[in-house]
Chains A and B, each alone.
Chain A
Amino acid sequence: SAVISQKPSRDICQRGTSLTIQCQVDSQVTMMFWYRQQPGQSLTLIATANQGSEATYESGFVIDKFPISRPNLTFSTLTVSNMSPEDSSIYLCSVEGQGFYNEQFFGPGTRLTVL
Chain B
Amino acid sequence: SQQGEEDPQALSIQEGENATMNCSYKTSINNLQWYRQNSGRGLVHLILIRSNEREKHSGRLRVTLDTSKKSSSLLITASRAADTASYFCATASLNRDDKIIFGKGTRLHILP
Taking beta carbons and an 8 Å cutoff, which residues of A are in contact with B? 1, 4, 31, 33, 37, 41-45, 48, 90, 92, 94, 96, 101-109, 111
A37: B residues at CB distance < 8 A: 40
- How far is the CB of A70 from the nearest CB of chain B, in Å? 15
Query: Do residues B48 and A101 form an inter-chain contact, with CB atoms below 8 A?
Result: yes
- How far is the CB of A31 from the nearest CB of chain B, in Å? 6
Chain B 55-94: CB-based contact to A (< 8 A → 1; otherwise 0): 0000000000000000000000000000000001010100
Q: How far is the CA of A107 from the CA of B31 in the complex (A)?
A: 22
A111: B residues at CB distance < 8 A: 40
Q: How far is the CA of A43 from the CA of B41 in the complex (A)?
A: 12
Task: Contacts A43-B88, A48-B99, A96-B98 given; indicate if A103 touches B42 (C-beta within 8 A).
Answer: no
Query: Do residues B42 and A107 form an inter-chain contact, with CB atoms below 8 A?
Result: yes
Query: Do residues A1 and B48 form an inter-chain contact, with CB atoms below 8 A?
Result: no
Q: How many B residues touch A, CB cutoff 8 Å?
A: 25
Task: Contacts A1-B45, A42-B2, A42-B88 given; indicate if A102 touches B98 (C-beta within 8 A).
Answer: yes
How many A-B contacts at CB < 8 Å in the complex?
58
- How far is the CB of B7 from the nearest CB of chain A, in Å? 13
Query: Do residues B45 and A109 form an inter-chain contact, with CB atoms below 8 A?
Result: no
B99: A residues at CB distance < 8 A: 33, 45, 48, 102
Query: Do residues B43 and A101 form an inter-chain contact, with CB atoms below 8 A?
Result: no
The 3 A-B residue pairs whose C-beta atoms are closest, nearest first, are A102-B92, A108-B42, A106-B43
Query: Do residues B88 and A103 form an inter-chain contact, with CB atoms below 8 A?
Result: no
Q: How far is the CA of A58 from the CA of B98 in the complex (A)?
A: 13
- How far is the CB of A102 from the nearest CB of chain B, in Å? 4
Q: How far is the CA of A96 from the CA of B92 in the complex (A)?
A: 12
